[in-house]
Each structure stands twice: as structure tokens, then as C-alpha cells.
Amino acid sequence: MAEMMQTQAGDAGAFTSFDLSRVPTPCFVVDAHAIERNLKILADVKARSGAHVLSALKAFSMFEVAPLVSRYLDGVCASGLYEAKLGREEYEGEVATFCAGYKDSEIDQIIALSDHMIFNSPSQKVRFLAKCQAADVSVGLRINPLHSEGEIPKYDPCAPCSRLGTPINQLDDEVLDGMDGLHMHTLCEQGFEPLARTWAAIEPKLAPYLPNLKWLNFGGGHHITRADYDREGLIDFIKTIREKYQVDVYLEPGEAVALDAGILVGEILDLPHNVMDLAITDISATCHMPDVIEAPYRPALMGEATHGHTYRLGGPSCLAGDVIGDYTWDTPLQVGDRFAFLDQAHYSMVKTNTFNGVPLPAIALWNSETDALTMVREFSYDDFKNRLS
């Protein structure tokens, strides 16, 4: 993720007019109009470049909007059995599945659900290629370009000793025997330029094999719907590759589908003081926004002031490190006040957990054009208990 140690960028957009008291807390609120805005941009790139564009379920799998996604994109990409099943059940179009390691007990189900099966290593290809071919499923190999564009090593699939992808210097005719395509995923919240640099570094090495391939998949991490993304450059890039090598081109945006399309609403529970002013909230970094700790990053607060009253926000769990960050309001906080973090529709939603018995956030779908609000899901004690039995 870009700007990991800094404030995560976020555009409040229409959420500035949303009454936070309309939903329980904590609660994810996703704007269907903002999702459609992003999808229209992706569909335009798709139409003008000729690329296949798949929505990455690992980043955003709110299937309440699956009909909307299916209207604009070509399908989904999955990371294993459960996402492949969700993609086939709830979405239309293609299902492309990549997993770092497939299990024998699941492989038949995954093949049956998938249009593309992408393997992480030649050994997995050897084990499962015949089954894929028998099912008439297209087969690909994930490669490691050995060209790093990632800013943070633990999020860089090309970092030394990475387990993700077959190093490009290990490719040969035997490794690629039976392969219909190659897949690479080396970007993280990045623009077009890192993709162009990566391709320039690897194209000469791949050129001998490209005439025998049917497709190239450039994975995810493309912030295509960001205002400053060079979409014209991406379109020309894809058209050039398609024409030069006569291959289909796939993109797997995840965050780009839901960028700036959701908030996480919380409530102030207590206001203790220990050297500085503190605020205990019903939003937990540990349980609801784990990337705050894992990345780490500082999520943007809707309406944050530049000067005023600063509080260190933390969650209700027992983990000492369950701290979201220091934030400033222009007036003092009161117990019961509502607030919202921006750009929380992607990744935060799919990573929530119930550590410490902390409740999962509710999920709401809002339409900023019509102001229609639907409570999609509210979680209960049973959701916590059933995970443990």
C-alpha cells in the first residue's frame, strides 16, 4: 500500500452530507453511486483498450453490489475455493483463480468453478495440469518479474525470497509447457508508470515465449480510478501488447472498484486522559481495520481539523496496541459523538475479525444520488460463537 506510514488518502465526496446517526455503530457504509462511478471508469478502459477487467474479490467482495459489478466488468478473480465459489454464485462472467498453494482436497471444486487456473509454481502445474486440461480450463503460471516497484518490502511480491510467483529467470520451455498464459501481480495502490517500467524490464525475457501464449494477466494494484492515474497511457500500453503479441490482456483491479466509496462509522465510548487526551471508540484497529497495525497506515478522518483538540483514538479490545492514531477536532469530543474514517470499503471490510469478542461492524448500502439506505447485514453474538464451535 502506498503511503503506508502516512495518512491514507481519502475523498469524503458525498459522505459529507450523510447523517452518521442513521446507522448503528460500528458500521461500514458503502455508496452504490460511488461504486458505479468507479465501474464506469473501469468499463471505459476495458472498452477502449480491449482488455478483460476482473474485480478482485480479495479487496472488495460485498456481493450486494454484484449485479452492479457484473453490469460493467468481465467477471472476478479469486484467491481460493471460497472466493471462487462466491464469484460463481453471485457474479456473472469469468472466474480466474490464483492461489499460492492448492490443496488436493479442494482442487476439483476449484477447477469446476474457474475459467482460468493460475499456478504459483511449476510443481503445482505438474500436479494439476491434466485435471485442468480435462475440464477445458485455461491454465496460467504466476511469474515473479524480479523487478521491484513496491515501497514496503512485506507488500512487495518481488522482494528477495518472495514465495509469490516463479522467478522469471527460472522460465524455460519445460516450465511453460501446457501454459496458456502468464500472470504477474507486483503493484500496490500504484499508477501506470510502475507497470510500464516493469514491462520494459521483463519484455525481452518473455519475448521468446509470447508467441505460444493466449493471454497475459497483469494482476491488481492498479489505482485506475484515482484522479491522477494515467489512463490514456494504460490504454495505449494494453493495445500495443495485444496487437504486437496477439494475446488477450487481463487486469484485476480490487481497490479501484471501491476507491473512496465507503466509510466506517464509529462512536466515542470514553474520554480518559493519560499524559494526553485519549478516546476509546467502538472501532478497533485490531478487529476492524487490521491494516492500521499491519501496514501500518493512518486512516483519514472525515472532517478532521488542522487545529483544535487532539485525541489518541483506540479500540475497545484488550490489546495495548489497538491504537488507530492521533486526530484533531475543532471542538472537544463528547461521549456518544459519531465520527467516520474514509475509504474503508476495500480491504477493511474483508479483513474484520472478532478477537476479544469485539462485534463485527454492520454493513449498509447507501445511494448518494437517491439517499436510499439499506441495512445489508447486522452481526450478532451467534456470528462470534459459531466461528468457535
CA–centroid distance for 35 within its chain? 14
Phi first, then psi, for residue 58 (nearest 5°) are -65, -25
Residue 1: per-residue pLDDT: 36
Q: Residue 1 to residues 190, 220, 349, 371: CA-CA distances in angstroms?
A: 8, 12, 16, 32
Residue 5: per-residue pLDDT: 40
pTM listed for this prediction: 0.95
Q: Which residue is associated with the grid cell 529467470?
A: 169
Q: What pLDDT digit, counting tens, does each position of 82-130 carry?
A: 999 999 999 999 999 999 999 999 999 999 999 999 999 999 999 999 9
3-state secondary structure of 280: strand
Residue 321: per-residue pLDDT: 96
C-alpha cell at 258: 471501491
**Ranges under pLDDT 50 in the chain:** 1-5
Distance CA 336, CA 269 (A): 6
Quote the radius of gyration of the chain (alpha carbons, Å). Answer: 22
Residues 6+ apart with CB under 8 A from 263: 15, 18, 28, 29, 302, 340, 341, 342, 343, 344
C-alpha cell at 117: 487456473
Residue 9: per-residue pLDDT: 60
Hey, which residues does 265 pair with through a beta bridge? 27, 340
Residue 131: per-residue pLDDT: 98
